[in-house]
Amino acid sequence: MTKKNLAYAVVIALIVVVADQASKQWALHALGDGQSIALLGDALSLHLTFNPGAAFSFLDDATWIFTLLSSIFVLGVPFLVPKFSSVPVLYTGALIWGGALGNLIDRLMRAPGFPQGHVVDFIRYSNWFIGNVADIALVVGFALLILLEIRGSTTFTKQEKK
């Protein structure tokens, strides 16, 4: 892995975090009065909510669990990066890392307080769930990781040539 590839991965993660946090700030101001904005009728709209749990408000009484798991992941990824053997896996990992960091910031910094902050969600997908930019990065990242696995490109350790 070259330093240039590592720098690109950091940039990808930072773009995700900045886009996520900026869009959440926008949502807090634009949708803070309970307003909803329809984008594609009932299929896609913007509506502000605060999520203490994971997707679909799973385990919303156990926010600290997600904070702990996210912290371990976010702090652990830099130690795994040298083991990545392909650039696509590195960039996909950066996308996932940025998404995890974006939501972790909310859990650490937002009400009701450290480490049980609620994640700002505002993109409503019909009646399925409400998410945010970090969630999009996580879903796209994991989908790409699955595709890379199907193609056989997800080796996390360098293969020795025989």
Residues that are catalytic? 121, 135
How far apart, in Å, are the Cα atoms of 116 and each of 2, 24, 139, 145?
Answer: 38, 17, 23, 29
Query: Is 113 within a domain?
Result: yes
d(CA 1, CA 82): 7
Query: Is 161 within a domain?
Result: no
Query: Is 132 within a domain?
Result: yes
Any idea what DSSP says for residue 111? T
Q: Number of folded domains in the chain?
A: 1
d(CA 138, CA 135): 5
* 69-125 tens-digit pLDDT: 889 999 998 888 877 878 999 999 999 999 999 999 999 999 988 888 899 999 999
Q: Where are the beta strands (DSSP E) in 16-158?
A: 36-38, 44-51, 119-125, 129-131
Residue numbers of the domain that contains 100:
3-31+46-53+60-151
* 15-61 tens-digit pLDDT: 999 999 999 999 999 998 888 999 999 999 999 999 887 655 555 56
Query: Is 18 within a domain?
Result: yes
Looking up tokens 């307003």, which residue turns up?
35
Query: Is 126 within a domain?
Result: yes
Model pTM greater than 0.85?
Answer: yes
The size of the chain, in residues, is 162
Query: Is 84 within a domain?
Result: yes
Query: Is 38 within a domain?
Result: no
Query: Is 158 within a domain?
Result: no
